[in-house]
């Protein structure tokens, strides 16, 4: 009983319980949509069967160790070489258990792969190390934050621009690879308006661990408003001699336009290799969702991107503090 | 004292090595026991290095957003940890067991091709040294066009594309520098070593069995060696081809895996896992064999369901070639393929279950002696069951798409390869310690080792299941504080250091007991198989005369009869028989001819790394040097007889 009186044990237990309750944004066991839920049900079915097998086998093991342990009085055991009936039994019973799990497994595999009717199509393009999103129906290009309508299936058409990536929103569905030169598909659906975390699953080079994302589900009206706003272009003419106007000059002259696009400000044909910044200020995160979108983080990022994401394709432009502040002010206007 | 006949005349143009002690006796040896011991020490050395790499990883992950290691260093460490543990630690430590025990268990004097055996060992050593020379010469950096804030350190200049080397990330464009070339060519060299030994063991088992050693009388460890050798022989050519493709892509501008050139990155995954999954069984089956020897000995019962265990082992090996795509359920494979490979993965659980139930049947009703090897074998069953069950959850494809690429998988395969393979290997190391050294290990230290290891192991890998389900992805250099993964990561890191402590206890025990341990005596375990019917440490000639085997567990039946209850009764003459066996074993009455040592295996093997460097650095002189060494080795080998002719024979002519 001394064990339970120990405060440390109590504290450890408390932390254990606390850490279970505490919200983990990438928790795969808290499904928030029908696809993730169907996986979750299958997982728990298997889990409890596995627990049953675990208890029986470990129970038999521990029982044998304690009961058949060598004692002075114990005689040498009978020399039993085997038992055909038992062999057949413990071959057939696992087969039957597995067959029982196999049926819902195969059904769920095909259910998850089926293209839902009336799904909103969104293209997901993997880059080292950020996700780009395109809404072909609306002509929208954005990055890092995927916005979807609540309670409506979304069909992701995905490919990669460079290496293999693995798109994962644990609360909405399992993972699916993004492969260069090949299109893969994944369905998402969220029950209610919420912000979810996404993460690249497959090792994709230096900053793989910082290839993250957010998925925001919205009510239908909010989503419509978001679409309308995303379709708008950025303001080209800014109030003269404002800090933001200075920032726009930095943006145009420092080299940012080599890789980035702000619709309405710099007319370019075709894609650029870096995220479209037209509505940058509306995104809660940036830099592959590795950083929250606030002036402090932007300062760090613009001063030396590779410091935060090793291997990044964004060069250190050797910006002065003044230029950085101006740029941040300008980026803040991109709503 | 011995009656080994020494060669009297030099029949070769090169002078034959003749050292019996000292470093040259080891370098030129063709004795399977010496080779086995060298395999063991070299593998353990790499195990320590792989362990240190793991500790560095765990320090980095002990807290969120840590910067103990840079991204380049972290990625290099996890790549080298995986590569080292699989190819340089567990595989060769299994090879150590194969080499030492296989001829003893089938009553042979050596393997079928003793010099080939030495060759495979030296190729392994040179392959390992070549791979690790990346820390001296290798280079790694950002993908083409990417930027780094600081130069990559030496630690980060090791291969960093993962032990699985997924393309195109591990290709020249996204992994520039030479580090991944060291990886690809290093594995290629190591693969040759394993292929060579696979054919050697298959031939040995088929041809070198002593009189009466029918296949179904072979010890299970020998059976598992047989199965592993076939797995190696069939799976290594696949990875060899895939690695050639990679090397060609990286060095000579081919586009096997590059989409831009019409290649396919998923092709690499198919090739890699078609090798990689049988590889899992290459790692675990030797441990199955060891446990199948230890459990009956310390339960004082025969193995329950011997034929079932043998056939289940081969069933696993066979089905193991049909499940590879379960590593790719999130890849671009169709639902039909997902369903097919999910079902085949479920099927492989059945023979695995058969083995576990038979082991339980073996200890059930036995008289269990809970010493260190037995504890490790029992721990093996307990831990392997956990790994097996989490493996079944991977066959549930939709659930696997949540778990794949997370720490849940890391937990799973460490329960299989550490809780399984390594626990089995430690069990074997303690079990055969007296056979190899003639001394007894320290039981108290052995038990401390076991308990520290099983506690540290579960503390390290148990919480990883939870971390994976909570969304911690694999190969993650940092994780955000908001993910709330910090607490369990800290626990995991503490567990890793407890494992490290247990390894120190093991080393202390080994070093101390080998020198100062009490004499083990003849047959210390009252064992069942014929390797215990000869003196310990094993005499250089193994069996003074070829034994004749009359049944399974022949040595046991020499000592014991059964009464009408089926309980063993020690034969009256058993003790006298043992004394006679020891006397005869130490003083052979017949003339013994042993294969002679040779310089050529190590010379031949030493050419391979030079060819590797020549490919990486495009240096013709190195290629010529490497080729010359291989030619000299082969020529000398070819002109040198396995055994020198003897004076008597010559006089008779």
Tokens of B294: 């230890």
Q: Is the pLDDT of residue A242 over 50?
A: yes
The answer to whether ipTM exceeds 0.90 is yes
Q: How far is A326 from chain B (nearest CA, A)?
A: 24
Q: How far is B443 from chain A (nearest CA, A)?
A: 16
Residue A203 near chain B (CB below 8 Å): yes
Are B331 and A177 inside 8 Å of each other by CB? yes
Cα distance from N-terminal residue to C-terminal residue, chain B: 28
d(CA A269, CA A266): 10
Tokens of A122: 């969104």
Sorted by sequence, the CB contacts under 8 Å of residue B99 that are 6+ apart come out as B32, B33, B35, B36, B39, B111, B117, B121, B197
Residue among B146, B175, B368 minimizing CB distance to A65: B368
Among residues 555-574 of chain B, which lie with CB inside 8 Å of chain A? 562, 565-568
CB B439 within 8 A of CB B513: yes
Place of tokens 């193991």: B320
Among residues 270-299 of chain A, which lie with CB inside 8 Å of chain B? none
Are B149 and A95 inside 8 Å of each other by CB? no
d(CA A129, CA B75): 15
pLDDT at B647: 46
Residue B524 near chain A (CB below 8 Å): no
Residue among A68, A109, A164 minimizing CB distance to B397: A109
Are A105 and B476 inside 8 Å of each other by CB? no
- Which of B204, B237, B236 lies closest to B222, judged by CA? B204
Residue A92 near chain B (CB below 8 Å): no
Residue of B nearest to A31 (CA): B402
CB B121 within 8 A of CB B88: no
pLDDT at B6: 54
Residue A160: phi and psi, rounded to 5, are -115, 150
Are B566 and A79 inside 8 Å of each other by CB? yes
Residues of chain B neighbouring A175 (CB-CB closer than 8 A)? 330, 401-402, 404-405
pLDDT at B17: 77
Among residues 35-74 of chain B, which lie with CB inside 8 Å of chain A? 70-72
Cα–Cα distance list, B329 to A109, A176, B123, B340 (Å)? 10, 8, 36, 11
Output the DSSP codes for B610-632.
Answer: HHHHHHHHT-HHHHHHHHHHHHH
Span of A83-92, A211-220, B150-159, B584-593 with lowest mean pLDDT: B584-593
The CATH code that applies to domain A120-231 is 2.60.40.420
Sorted by sequence, the CB contacts under 8 Å of residue A95 that are 6+ apart come out as B350
Q: Is the pLDDT of residue A12 over 70?
A: no
Residue among A128, A168, A209 minimizing CB distance to B476: A209
Residues in chain B with pLDDT values less than 70: 1-14, 645-653
Are A310 and B356 inside 8 Å of each other by CB? no
pLDDT at B592: 85
pLDDT category of residue A7 using cuts at 50, 70 and 90: low
A–B interface: beta-carbon pairs under 8 A: 322
CB B46 within 8 A of CB B82: no
pLDDT at A272: 79
Among residues 372-391 of chain B, which lie with CB inside 8 Å of chain A? 378, 381-382, 385-386, 389-390
pLDDT at A305: 95
Q: Tell me, what DSSP letter sits at residue A207? A: T
Are A310 and B142 inside 8 Å of each other by CB? yes
Among residues 142-201 of chain B, which lie with CB inside 8 Å of chain A? 142-143, 145-149, 160, 162, 166, 168-169, 174-175
- Mapped onto helix, strand or coil, the DSSP state of residue B313 is helix
Tokens of A193: 């308006």
Residues of chain A neighbouring B402 (CB-CB closer than 8 A)? 28, 36, 39, 43, 170, 174-175
Sorted by sequence, the CB contacts under 8 Å of residue B606 that are 6+ apart come out as B122, B126, B629, B633
Are B349 and A76 inside 8 Å of each other by CB? no
Residue B331 near chain A (CB below 8 Å): yes
Q: Tell me, what DSSP letter sits at residue B113? A: -
pLDDT at A16: 57
User: Average of pLDDT values for A256-282?
Assistant: 86
pLDDT at B591: 82
CB B637 within 8 A of CB B603: no
- Mapped onto helix, strand or coil, the DSSP state of residue B545 is coil
Among residues 133-192 of chain A, which lie with CB inside 8 Å of chain B? 162-164, 166, 168, 170, 173-177, 179-182, 184
Q: How far is B486 from chain A (nearest CA, A)?
A: 9
Domain ranges of chain B: 523-588
Mutate to test the interface with B, among A79, A210, A289 (most CBs of B within 10 A): A79
User: Average of pLDDT values for A249-257?
Assistant: 92
Residues of chain A neighbouring B160 (CB-CB closer than 8 A)? 206
Mutate to test the interface with A, among B72, B147, B265, B451 (most CBs of A within 10 A): B147
Length in residues, chain B: 653
Q: Among the CATH numbers 2.130.10.10, 2.60.40.420, 3.40.50.880, 2.40.240.10, which is that of A243-332?
A: 2.60.40.420
Are A82 and B75 inside 8 Å of each other by CB? no
CB B301 within 8 A of CB B341: no
pLDDT category of residue A1 using cuts at 50, 70 and 90: very low
Residues B261-319 have pLDDT tens digits of 899 999 999 999 999 999 999 999 999 999 999 999 999 999 999 999 999 999 999 99
Place of tokens 């002259």: A253
Residue of B nearest to A273 (CA): B145
Are A205 and B174 inside 8 Å of each other by CB? yes
Residue of A nearest to B385 (CA): A54
CB neighbour class for B22 (10 Å; exposed up to 12, middle 13-18, buried from 19): exposed
pLDDT at B1: 38
Residue among A39, A79, A205 minimizing CB distance to B169: A205
Residue of B nearest to A101 (CA): B396
Residue A75 near chain B (CB below 8 Å): yes
CB B495 within 8 A of CB B459: yes
Among residues 456-495 of chain B, which lie with CB inside 8 Å of chain A? 469-480, 482-485, 487-488
Domain ranges of chain A: 120-231, 243-332
Residues of chain B neighbouring A28 (CB-CB closer than 8 A)? 402-403, 406, 469-471
């Amino acid at each position: 009983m001394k064990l339970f009186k120990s405060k440390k044990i109590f504290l450890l237990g408390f932390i254990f319980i606390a850490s279970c309750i505490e919200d983990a944004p990438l928790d795969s066991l808290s499904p928030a949509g029908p696809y993730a839920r169907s996986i979750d049900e299958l997982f728990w079915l298997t889990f409890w069967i596995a627990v049953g097998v675990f208890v029986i086998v470990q129970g038999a093991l521990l029982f044998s160790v304690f009961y058949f342990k060598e004692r002075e009085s114990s005689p040498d055991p009978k020399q039993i070489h085997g038992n055909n009936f038992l062999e057949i039994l413990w071959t057939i019973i696992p087969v039957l258990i597995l067959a029982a799990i196999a049926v819902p497994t195969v059904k769920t595999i095909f259910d998850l792969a089926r293209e839902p009717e009336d799904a909103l199509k969104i293209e997901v393009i993997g880059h080292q190390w950020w996700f780009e999103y395109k809404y072909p129906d609306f002509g929208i290009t954005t990055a890092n934050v995927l916005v979807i309508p609540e309670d409506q299936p979304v069909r992701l058409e995905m490919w990669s621009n460079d290496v293999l990536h693995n798109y994962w929103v644990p609360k909405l569905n399992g993972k699916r690879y993004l492969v260069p030169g090949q299109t893969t598909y994944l369905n998402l659906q969220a029950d209610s308006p919420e912000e979810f975390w996404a993460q690249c699953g497959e090792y994709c080079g230096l900053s793989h661990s910082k290839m993250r994302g957010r998925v925001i589900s919205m009510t239908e009206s909010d989503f419509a408003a978001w679409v309308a706003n995303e379709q708008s272009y950025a303001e080209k003419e800014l109030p003269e001699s404002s800090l933001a106007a200075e920032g726009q000059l930095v943006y145009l002259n420092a080299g940012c336009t080599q890789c980035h696009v702000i619709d309405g400000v710099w007319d370019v044909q075709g894609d650029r290799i870096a995220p479209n910044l037209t509505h940058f200020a509306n995104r809660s995160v940036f830099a592959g969702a590795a950083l929250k979108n606030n002036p402090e983080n932007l300062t760090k990022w613009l001063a030396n991107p590779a410091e935060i994401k090793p291997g990044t394709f964004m060069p250190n432009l050797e910006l002065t503090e003044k230029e950085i502040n101006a740029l941040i002010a300008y980026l803040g206007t991109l709503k | 004292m011995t009656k080994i006949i020494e060669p009297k005349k030099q029949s070769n143009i090169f002078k034959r090595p003749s050292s019996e002690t000292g470093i040259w006796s080891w370098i030129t040896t063709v004795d399977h026991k010496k080779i086995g011991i060298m395999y063991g020490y070299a593998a353990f050395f790499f195990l320590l290095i792989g362990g240190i790499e793991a500790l560095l990883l765990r320090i980095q992950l002990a807290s969120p957003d840590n910067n103990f290691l840079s991204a380049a260093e972290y990625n290099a460490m996890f790549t080298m940890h995986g590569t080292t543990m699989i190819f340089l630690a567990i595989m060769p430590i299994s090879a150590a067991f194969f080499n030492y025990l296989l001829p003893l268990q089938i009553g042979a004097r050596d393997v079928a091709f003793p010099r080939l055996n030495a060759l495979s060992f030296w190729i392994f050593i040179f392959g390992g040294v070549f791979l690790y020379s990346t820390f001296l010469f290798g280079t790694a950096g950002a993908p083409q066009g990417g930027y780094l804030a600081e130069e990559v350190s030496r630690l980060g200049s090791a291969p960093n594309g993962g032990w699985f080397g997924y393309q195109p990330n591990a290709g020249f464009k996204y992994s520039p520098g030479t580090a991944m070339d060291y990886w690809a060519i290093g594995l290629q060299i190591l693969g040759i070593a394993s292929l060579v030994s696979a054919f050697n063991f298959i031939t040995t088992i088929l041809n070198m069995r002593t009189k009466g050693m029918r296949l179904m009388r072979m010890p299970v460890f020998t059976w598992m060696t047989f199965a592993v050798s076939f797995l190696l022989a069939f799976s290594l050519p696949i990875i060899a081809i895939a690695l050639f493709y990679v090397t060609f892509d990286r060095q000579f501008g081919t586009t096997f895996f590059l989409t831009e050139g019409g290649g396919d990155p998923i092709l690499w995954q198919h090739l890699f896992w078609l090798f990689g999954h049988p590889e899992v069984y290459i790692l675990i089956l030797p441990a199955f064999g060891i446990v199948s020897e230890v459990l009956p000995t310390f339960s004082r019962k025969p193995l329950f369901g011997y034929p079932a265990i043998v056939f289940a082992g081969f069933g696993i090996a066979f089905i193991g070639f049909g499940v590879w795509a379960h590593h790719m359920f999130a890849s671009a494979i169709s639902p039909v393929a997902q369903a097919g490979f999910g079902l085949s993965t479920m099927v492989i659980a059945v023979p695995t279950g058969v083995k576990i139930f038979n082991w339980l049947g073996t200890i059930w009703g036995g008289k269990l002696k809970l010493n260190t090897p037995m504890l490790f074998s029992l721990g093996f069953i307990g831990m392997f069951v956990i790994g097996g069950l989490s493996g079944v959850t991977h066959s549930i494809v939709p659930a696997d798409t949540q778990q794949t690429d997370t720490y849940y998988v890391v937990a799973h395969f460490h329960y299989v390869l550490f809780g399984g393979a390594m626990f089995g290997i430690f069990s074997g190391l303690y079990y055969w310690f007296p056979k190899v050294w003639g001394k007894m290990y320290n039981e108290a230290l052995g038990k401390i080792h076991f308990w520290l290891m099983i506690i540290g192991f579960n503390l390290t890998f148990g919480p990883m299941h939870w971390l994976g389900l909570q969304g911690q992805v694999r190969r993650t250099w940092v994780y955000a504080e908001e993910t709330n993964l910090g607490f369990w990561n800290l626990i995991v890191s503490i567990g890793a250091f407890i494992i490290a402590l247990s390894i120190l206890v093991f080393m202390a025990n080994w070093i101390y007991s080998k020198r100062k341990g009490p004499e083990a005596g003849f047959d210390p375990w009252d064992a069942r198989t014929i390797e215990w019917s000869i003196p310990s440490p094993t005499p250089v000639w193994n069996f003074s005369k070829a034994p004749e085997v009359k049944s399974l567990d022949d040595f046991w039946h020499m000592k014991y009869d059964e009464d009408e209850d089926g309980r063993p009764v020690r034969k009256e003459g058993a003790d006298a028989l043992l004394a006679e066996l020891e006397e005869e074993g130490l003083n052979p009455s017949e003339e013994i001819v042993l294969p002679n040592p040779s310089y050529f295996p190590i010379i031949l093997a030493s050419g391979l790394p030079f060819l590797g460097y020549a490919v990486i650095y495009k240096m013709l002189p190195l290629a010529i040097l490497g080729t010359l060494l291989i030619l000299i080795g082969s020529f000398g080998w070819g002109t040198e007889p396995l055994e020198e002719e003897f004076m008597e024979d010559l006089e008779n002519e």
